[in-house]
Amino acid sequence: MYTLTYESTATNTVKGAEMEELLEKARTNNSRDSITGCLIYYKGSFVQLLEGDKSKIEVLYAKIQKDERHKNVTLFSEDEISTRMFPNWGMAYYPINENHATKYEYEQFKRNLIMLSDLVKPTSATAKQFWKKIKNLISDPPL
């Protein structure tokens, strides 16, 4: 098995309905292809970790790179793995809408992600890089 993690910049402020559509598609495809992972959206940036069969991930990542809903798609780590970090999630999604989020909601979002990172043990160097990136991203407050 194989895992990769990338970051990207959303091209438009992502609207709830568009994101729902994207996720529904992702979850259907990923479950068909036994791909799991986690997608974070914060302050106009995406960070996603994908894991599964290498050839399947390569096909998906090629599609993702061409997707016009985001740009500057940059791979920052990849690994061969034997264990998944998100075996039970087709595609976990953690968004926050910084335009509407209150300081409390933002703190909650941060706490949840930190809790998740403590709960979900990194199973590769790529997984560690993923959490490092997330922690770095959320250390930049929206307000």
Dist. CA 91–CA 89, nearest whole Å: 5
**SS3 (DSSP) at 143:** coil
DSSP structure string for 20-79: HHHHHHHHHHHHHTT-EEEEEEETTEEEEEEEE-HHHHHHHHHHHHH-TTEEEEEEEEEE
Q: Which two tokens stand for residue 136?
A: 């770095």
* Shortest Å, Cβ 92 to ligand FMN: 10
Q: 7, 36, 38, 46: which one contacts ligand FMN (CB under 6 A)?
A: 46
* Shortest Å, Cβ 102 to ligand FMN: 25
Residues in the chain: 143
Contact mark string toward ligand FMN, 87..126, x via CB under 6 A? ----x-----------------------------------
Largest CA-CA distance found in the chain, in angstroms, rounded: 42
**SS3 (DSSP) at 2:** strand
Is residue 25 close enough to count as binding ligand FMN by CB under 6 A? yes
Q: 2, 47, 70, 131: which one contacts ligand FMN (CB under 6 A)?
A: 70
From the list 18-26, 92-100, 108-116, 125-133, the region that binds ligand FMN by CB under 6 A is 18-26
Is residue 30 close enough to count as binding ligand FMN by CB under 6 A? yes
Is residue 6 close enough to count as binding ligand FMN by CB under 6 A? no
Interface contacts to ligand FMN, rule CB under 6 A: 22, 25-26, 29-30, 39, 46, 48, 60, 63-64, 67, 69-70, 91
